[in-house]
Amino acid sequence: MNSLTVPFLVVALTTSSATAAELELWRLDCGKIEVRNLALFSDTYNYADQQRTLTDSCYLIRHDQEYMLWDTGLPKALVGAKVDPGSALQPSLSKDIETQLAEVGLKAGDIAKVGISHNHFDHIGQAASFAGATLMIGAADFAQFKANPLPFAVDPGLIAPWLTGGSKVDLITGDRDVYGDGTVTILSTPGHTPGETSLLVRLNKTGPVLLSGDVVHFEEQFANRGVPPFNFDRAQTLASMDRLTGIAKQLHAKLIVQHDATDVALLPAFPKSAE
């Protein structure tokens, strides 16, 4: 066997095993955010004097008999909370994740893994409801929970079970094949935060689905290259945009921008799933 054979065998084995596991993907309603000054989301003046509602989506993945959450949305305390009309960003939540899981016959203890795209409050809000699960998060983002001062939108209290050592943390550097068979892969896409990640799910019938995290907040940002001024690193953000669009093109993947309602609607409405 020559030196060129091994990489080709690895690719072949990963590709063939990717169809072995049963996979299912549900999109969950994890809130919304009314943005009353959209200019906050672009350093190239794309959205002056505009407003928009961001969808806060998170996802349930079944890999054979194991369940994984990808992001956990806005904090449960927002259910029924009063709206502040003067706030530039107004988050709201109508239904928590556990209530939605019950609709498909699951409870919090059935979740084995909680994958987090990044450490902002609107993506880790309900993580503590699943303290029995292993938290999978970028190592650089996890480190920021202990920073002083805390970075923008980072609230350590939302992941207290893992910070105190009571629950298991799996710190991610680079890409991670979650199940070792190529079906679910956490992708390194830094820039919005230092440890930002995205998720590739290679469904058997639907085909590959690519969940963006917050590499962008709206689909058109891939083209207009607008980067929020509060991002950790502008150059890394642009490189991660290119990586996601490149993967989507190469794999013919459905690219879902998690805050874009039009993109999220490309997946079946809960409680239906994509397979």
The predicted-structure confidence for 205-255, as pLDDT tens digits, reads as follows 999 999 999 999 999 999 999 999 999 999 999 999 999 999 999 999 999
The predicted-structure confidence for 158-174, as pLDDT tens digits, reads as follows 999 999 989 999 999 99
Residue 5 is predicted with a pLDDT of 39
Residue 8 predicted with pLDDT over 90: no
Q: Tell me the C-alpha distance between 230 and 153, whole Å.
A: 10
Contacts of the segment 230-238: beta carbons below 8 A, 24+ positions apart: 230/40, 230/152, 230/153, 231/191, 231/192, 231/193, 232/151, 232/190, 232/191, 232/192, 232/193, 232/194, 232/196, 233/190, 233/191, 233/194, 234/43, 234/191, 235/191, 236/190, 236/191, 237/191, 237/192, 238/191
**Which residues are CB-neighbours of 172 under 8 A, at least 6 positions away?**
136, 137, 138, 139, 186, 188, 195, 197
CB 53 within 8 A of CB 32: yes
Please give the biggest Cα pair distance in the chain. Answer: 68
The predicted-structure confidence for 25-63, as pLDDT tens digits, reads as follows 999 999 999 999 999 999 999 999 999 999 999 999 999
User: Which DSSP string corresponds to 54-118?
Assistant: EEEEEEEEEETTEEEEE---S-GGGBTPPP-TT-SEEEEBSS-HHHHHHHTT--GGGEEEEE-S-
Global confidence as pTM: 0.91
Q: Tell me the C-alpha distance between 73 and 51, whole Å.
A: 21
Residue 3 confidence class, pLDDT cut points 50, 70, 90: very low
SS3 236: helix
Residue 9 predicted with pLDDT over 60: no
Q: Give CA angle at 108 (102, 111), nearest 5°.
A: 110
What radius of gyration do the chain's Cα atoms show? 18
C-alpha torsion sign, points 206, 195, 224, 247 = negative
Mean pLDDT of all residues in 103-121 = 98
Residue 103 predicted with pLDDT over 50: yes
Q: Tell me the C-alpha distance between 191 and 138, whole Å.
A: 12
Residue 83 is predicted with a pLDDT of 81
Residue 100 is predicted with a pLDDT of 98
Cis peptide before 228 (omega within 30 of 0): no
The predicted-structure confidence for 177-190, as pLDDT tens digits, reads as follows 999 999 999 999 99
Residue 14 predicted with pLDDT over 70: no
Q: Please, what CATH class does the domain formed by 20-264 belong to?
A: alpha beta
Cis peptide before 271 (omega within 30 of 0): yes
Domain boundaries, the chain: 20-264
